[in-house]
Amino acid sequence: MRNAINAFVFIFFFTNSYAQNSEDSVMTIAERHTHDSTELKALIWLGENASKNEFRNAYKFFNQALQLSLELQDQNATIEIYNSLARVFLTNGNYDSSLFHLTAALDLAQQSNNFLQKADALQGLGLYFLRRRELDSSQYYFEQALVVAQAINNHSSQAGIYVDLGNVALDRNNKLSALEYFIMAAKLQDSLVHNPVGQSAVLANIGNIQSELGNLEKAITYALEAQKLAHESNYESGSAYASQLLGRIYRKQGKLDESLKSYMIALESYQKMGDKQSEAGTLISIGNIYYDQEDLPKAKRQYLKSLNLGKSIDNGAIISFAYSCLGYAYYEMLQYKTAIDYFDSSRVVALNINDVYSVLDAYNMMSSIYSDTKDYESSLMNFRRYSFLKDSLMDAENRAASEELEMKYQNDKKLAEIELLRADQALQAAALSRQRVFQIGAGLVISLVIILAIVLINRSRVINRGLRLVEMERVRNEISRDLHDDIGSTLTSINILSELSLNQNATDQTKHLTTINNHSSKMMERMDDIVWSINPLNDSIDQLIIKLRQFASEVLEPKDIGYVFQLSDVEEVAIDPFKRKHIFLIAKEAINNAAKYSNAGHVQINISVLNDRLHMEIVDDGRGFDMAVANDGNGLVNIRERANKINGALKISSAIDQGTSISLEVTLT
C-alpha cells in the first residue's frame, strides 16, 4: 500500500524548500514543532520511512502525525495515517488494531470521496484477511480495491493489488492464476510505474512461481534481482522476503548450508523490523533445515520459538504448523506420546481456522504412530477419520478438477514457461502498445456486442409487433366476417319481415313477428358469443369451461337432459383467443345437436390438457345417426371447418341407437 503523500513527492518538496532530503533533515523539521502542514508531512514521511525497517519508530511517528492531523482537521492526512498505522499493526501481528484503523480509514474515505485512500483501505482489508487465511474475504476486498484503483487510473495501486491477488491464488494452490496476476503487475511496473520497490516485489513473486514449477535456476535469478533492487531501495521487508525465497530454493537443491545462511539473513531483518509473523515463519523454515540435517534438538528449539511467537500474535496458521513440526521432530526421536500430543494440538487449532489439510495430516500421522506402537484400535479410529475427511474433500468438483489437472499437466507446464518468457520480455521491453491494442480491441468487441444486442432486441420488438398486428388483423377480419355473415343476414331478414308485416293481416303479422323474435334472439346470442370471444379476460381454459357450462345449462336443462363435465389438469392454462373462440363454437354446435336431434337422456363433456394440448370429447347416449347418410348434416360441416381453422384433429363417430361422440385435439398456444 502506498499513500497519497508518498515519499517521492515529499522528497521533492523538501528538495525545493530546504535543498536537503536526508532523514536527518526531515527529522529536524519535525522537531521544530511548528504545528503546521510542514511538520505533518515530515512526520508522515518519517513514519513511512521507518515502516520499511523499524516498526517501533513507525508507531511513534504515525501517532504524532495522527494527533497533529486531528488538531489541524486535515481529513485526508488522517485517512492516510490510519491506513499506514493499520499496515504497521498488520505486519506486527496486531490484527485487532489493524482492523480498527482500516475500518476508520475506509469510513472517512467514503465520506470525503477520497478514492485513492479508499482503494488503500480496501487493499489493507484484503491483506488483513489474507494474513488471517480467510481467502474469500481477502479476494473480495482486493477486487473492490482494484475497481477503485482502475477508476482513478492509479497504476501503482493496480500493480500492488495484482501482486496481492496473485498471493491469494497461491494460497489456493492455483499457480497459473497467480502467474497471470504477477505478469499483469510486471507489465504495469515495467511500462508505467517504474517503482523499484514494486518491481522487487513482482520479481520475487515470479521467482516463487518458478520455484514452485521446478525451474530452480530461473527462480534464483529472479530472487537475486529482487534482492538487489530491494537493497538499492532500502526496502528491508522486500530484501528479507528475497532472502527467504532463496532459502527455499537452496533447500530444494539440497544446498542446506546456503539455505540456512539465507534464512538467517531473513530472520535478522524480520527481527529488526519487528515483523513477528514473518519471523515465526522463518523460524519454522530454519527448523526444517536442522530437521533435514538430522539435528533434531536444534530443530525443536526453532519450532518452539515459532510456536511462542505465533501464540503472541494469535496466528492460528503459525501455531498449527509449529505444533505439527514439533510432532514430526518427536516422532523421529521415537517419543511417540509427545508426538501424538503435538499432532492432536495441531489438529485442534487447524479445525478452528478451517485448515482441513492440516487436520488430514494430523489424523494420518496419529494413525501411523498408533500403528507403530501396536495400538491398532486407536490407529484404525484415526485412519477412519482421515479417510472420511479425505473422501469429503474428494467430492465431484474436486475429482473433476484433479482429472483435468492430470490431463493438462504437461500442457500447463509448457504454458507456464511461455507465460514466464513473456514476463521476461515484459520486464525488459515495455508492452504498453500491446496493452493499448488489447484495450482498443476489447472496446471494439464490446461495442459490436452492444450494437448487435440492440439490433436483435429491436428486431425482436418489430417481429413481435408485426405478429400482434397480424393477430389483430385476423381478429378484425373474423369479427367482420361474423357480423356480415350472421348478424348482417339476420338484420336483413328482420328488415324484410318488418316491411311485409306492415301490409298484411293480423295472422300473417303474428307469424312474421314470431320469426323476427326468433331471429333477434339468435342475433343477440351470436353478439354475446362475439363479445365473449374478443375479451382478453377470457383467454384461459377455465373461462372456456365456465362459458360451456352456462350454455349447456341453458340448452340441456329445459329438455331434462342430464349432463356432466369431466375435467383433468385444466387449472390456469392459457389459450390462444382465436382457438378459444372456435373450440367454444365446436363444443356449442355439438351440445346443440345433442339437445335438438339426439333425443338423448345424458350428455358427458370430457376436457383434459396434456403437454399443452387440449383433449375435448362430447358424448351423448341418444339415437345416433348413420355416418354415411348424415355426414354433411346437423352442423357437421361447420364443426369440421372450425377444426381445420385451428389445425385441430377432429373425430366424429355415431351409429343408429348407439349415441354420438365428437372429439377434438388441438394445441392451445
Q: Which CATH architecture has domain 431-534?
A: Orthogonal Bundle (1.10)
| 143-148: long-range pairs with CB below 8 Å, 24+ | 145/119, 145/120, 148/115, 148/118, 148/119, 148/122
Global pTM exceeds 0.85: no
Three-state secondary-structure class, residue 665: strand
CB 579 within 8 A of CB 539: no
**SS3 sequence of 235-265:** CHHHHHHHHHHHHHHHHHCCCHHHHHHHHHH
Residues facing residue 617 across a β-bridge: 606, 663
Residues of the chain with pLDDT under 50: 1-21, 396-397, 400-405, 407-409, 411
Q: Supply the pLDDT for residue 404.
A: 45
- The C-alpha atoms of residue 154 and residue 4 are separated, in whole angstroms, by 11
- The C-alpha atoms of residue 129 and residue 127 are separated, in whole angstroms, by 5
Cell numbers found for residue 82: 490510519
Three-state secondary-structure class, residue 606: strand
**Among the listed residues 120, 202, 124, 127, the one whose alpha carbon sits nearest the alpha carbon of residue 168:** 127
- The C-alpha atoms of residue 404 and residue 419 are separated, in whole angstroms, by 20
CB 252 within 8 A of CB 218: no
Q: Supply the pLDDT for residue 179.
A: 79
Instruction: Measure Cα distances from 477 to 430, 461, 473, 525, 532 in Å.
Output: 72, 24, 6, 20, 16
Instruction: Measure Cα distances from 6 to 80, 116, 270, 637 in Å.
Output: 10, 12, 23, 93
Cell numbers found for residue 65: 502525525
Residues facing residue 615 across a β-bridge: 608, 665
Cβ-based neighbour number of residue 485 at 10 Å: 11
Instruction: Please list, in sequence order, all residues whose beta carbon lies within 8 angstroms of the beta carbon of residue 666, skipping any fewer than 6 positions away.
Output: 579, 583, 613, 614, 643, 646, 647, 648, 649
Instruction: Please list, in sequence order, all residues whose beta carbon lies within 8 angstroms of the beta carbon of residue 71, skipping any fewer than 6 positions away.
Output: 35
**Among the listed residues 30, 69, 35, the one whose alpha carbon sits nearest the alpha carbon of residue 46:** 30
Residues facing residue 607 across a β-bridge: 567, 616
**Among the listed residues 532, 545, 518, the one whose alpha carbon sits nearest the alpha carbon of residue 479:** 532
Q: Supply the pLDDT for residue 2.
A: 36
Instruction: Please list, in sequence order, all residues whose beta carbon lies within 8 angstroms of the beta carbon of residue 363, skipping any fewer than 6 positions away.
Output: 347, 382, 383, 385, 386, 389
Instruction: Please list, in sequence order, all residues whose beta carbon lies within 8 angstroms of the beta carbon of residue 525, skipping any fewer than 6 positions away.
Output: none
Spell out the domain ranges in the chain: 1-152, 431-534, 536-667
Q: Supply the pLDDT for residue 21.
A: 46
Q: Supply the pLDDT for residue 70.
A: 85
Angle ∠(626,627,631) on CA atoms, nearest 5: 120
Q: Supply the pLDDT for residue 298.
A: 92
Angle ∠(632,633,636) on CA atoms, nearest 5: 70
* One-letter amino acid of 227: Q
- The C-alpha atoms of residue 413 and residue 409 are separated, in whole angstroms, by 6
CB 591 within 8 A of CB 556: yes
**Among the listed residues 207, 179, 118, 111, the one whose alpha carbon sits nearest the alpha carbon of residue 154:** 118
CATH hierarchy code of domain 536-667: 3.30.565.10
Residues facing residue 663 across a β-bridge: 617, 651
What is the separation, in whole angstroms, between the first and last Cα of the chain?
62
Cell numbers found for residue 188: 504495469
pLDDT tens track for 325-350: 999 999 999 999 999 999 999 999 88
**1-152 under CATH 3.40.630.30, yes or no:** no
Sign, CA torsion 557/563/567/573:
negative
DSSP string over 388-455: HHHHHHS-HHHHHHHHHHHHHHHHHHHHHHHHHHHHHHHHHS--HHHHHHHHHHHHHHHHHHHHHHHH
- The C-alpha atoms of residue 94 and residue 71 are separated, in whole angstroms, by 26
- The C-alpha atoms of residue 647 and residue 640 are separated, in whole angstroms, by 10
Three-state secondary-structure class, residue 177: helix
- The C-alpha atoms of residue 5 and residue 13 are separated, in whole angstroms, by 11
* One-letter amino acid of 337: K
Instruction: Please list, in sequence order, all residues whose beta carbon lies within 8 angstroms of the beta carbon of residue 411, skipping any fewer than 6 positions away.
Output: none
CB 603 within 8 A of CB 556: yes
